[in-house]
Amino acid sequence: MNKLAVIALGGNALLRVDQAGTIEEQEKNTTATLENLVFLIKAGYDLVLSHGNGPQVGNILMRNDAGESQYDIPPMPLDICVADSQGGIGYMIERMLRNVLKKHNIEKEVVTLVTAVIVNDKDPAFANPTKRVGKVYTKLEADALAEKKKWIFKKSPKGDDAWRRVVPSPQPLRIVNEKVVETLARQGVITIAVGGGGIPVYYDENGDVRAAEAVIDKDLACALLAARIEADEFYVLTDVPYIYRNFNKPDQEILEFLDYKDTVRYLESGEFGEGSMAPKIRACLQFIEGGGAKAIITEAFKLEDKNYGSKITRNYDPVDSNKRIKK
């Protein structure tokens, strides 16, 4: 059986900070990232891909605002916006990947799944929304929207009179179509799933599926999927080539090989920034806890170069690190 790798595309894999966000820019970035996955396919890996959606779903929410205020178009709720972004980004990745595969004479099927993720509607996150979404408002605008729509706003670091809506970010518990993802991937179909962390849903008292007005951390949901389908390796592609100790300080140190225990120690000591590396580290640890063999964090365009990337294993052994740790 081929090895199975789950790859979370993030950072500059799709959109770079200094770009406007045009589809041409996103397609170019996506193609460059996907070129770095070809060596895994040629090495016999089956692949599941995931992706972020922060800028894209933010734009969808702004279109919501413009349509409602200018044309009286009913706005769509956050779960529909996340689903919208999953379909659009997944289609873009799928189309670019088909072109990359054709270029390398690789015959593979590719499919995008709009993916829901189960959360607990009693998760403490619902009492403390922290995830910023949508556009920046003035305090006056934010107060009016808070009264009209019952939205919650928090100050944004982008200005003195800058406020953004915040929504809960609950823990992912289960991927709704995880068996479908696993079946497709094990059959050699490159599967794009859990985009943007998935669409958060929960079961009500009658057992019906309900949408949660929330967003899920993409890397945590992707790590959960990787563990549930018993992937061998979990990759987090970001905008730096390694995990660092004392990041951006004179004594900065590359942490290329880490075991589970040392990674937890660094995390608990506050070594990794909460707004940057810490969530990715937690996702990797979750994958290892779920039985995964190896998690890798590296730059989106450095994946093929074996000299790049930080590797986290339960007990690092350069000989046996690829062996799966059974649950």
- At 111-134, the pLDDT tens digits run 999 999 999 999 999 999 999 998
Does residue 324 lie in a domain region?
no
Nearest to 166 by CA among 129, 196, 141, 124: 129
Give the lowest-confidence range in 10-19, 43-52, 80-89, 186-195.
10-19
Q: CA-to-CA distance for 113 and 107, rounded, in angstroms?
A: 20
Specify the pLDDT at position 189.
98
Dump the DSSP string for 54-120: HHHHHHHHHHHHHHHHHH-PPPPPHHHHHHHHHHHHHHHHHHHHHHHHHHTT----EEE---EEE--
Catalytic residue among 29, 131, 134, 197: 131
CB 159 within 8 A of CB 114: no
Specify the pLDDT at position 306.
66
Specify the pLDDT at position 166.
97
Does residue 76 lie in a domain region?
yes
Clarify whether 218 is annotated catalytic. Answer: yes
Query: Do 226 and 94 sit in the same domain of this protein?
Result: yes
Does residue 37 lie in a domain region?
yes
Q: Is the pLDDT of residue 214 over 50?
A: yes
Catalytic residue among 218, 294, 309, 311: 218
Please give the residue range of the domain that contains residue 148. Answer: 129-167
Q: Is the pLDDT of residue 327 over 80?
A: no
Q: Is the pLDDT of residue 324 over 80?
A: no
Query: Do 160 and 100 sit in the same domain of this protein?
Result: no
The tokens for 271 are 């070594």
Clarify whether 154 is annotated catalytic. Answer: no
Q: CA-to-CA distance for 203 and 171, rounded, in angstroms?
A: 15
Catalytic residue among 53, 64, 195, 280: 280
pLDDT band of 8, cuts 50, 70, 90:
very high
The answer to whether the predicted template modeling score (pTM) of the entire model surpasses 0.85 is yes
Clarify whether 99 is annotated catalytic. Answer: no
Query: Do 301 and 217 sit in the same domain of this protein?
Result: yes
Does residue 283 lie in a domain region?
yes
Question: Per residue in 248-266, pLDDT tens?
Answer: 999 999 999 999 999 999 9
The CA R_g of the chain, rounded to the nearest whole Å, is 20
Would you call 222 helix, strand, or coil by DSSP? helix
Catalytic residue among 10, 11, 134, 197: 11
62: phi then psi, degrees, rounded to nearest 5: -70, -35
The tokens for 302 are 């450095």
Count structural domains, the chain: 2
Clarify whether 327 is annotated catalytic. Answer: no
Mean pLDDT of 5-12: 86
Q: Are strands 294-299 and 233-238 parallel, antiparallel or unpaired?
A: parallel
Clarify whether 155 is annotated catalytic. Answer: no
Mean pLDDT of 170-183: 98
Does residue 287 lie in a domain region?
yes
Query: Do 47 and 147 sit in the same domain of this protein?
Result: no
Query: Do 225 and 257 sit in the same domain of this protein?
Result: yes
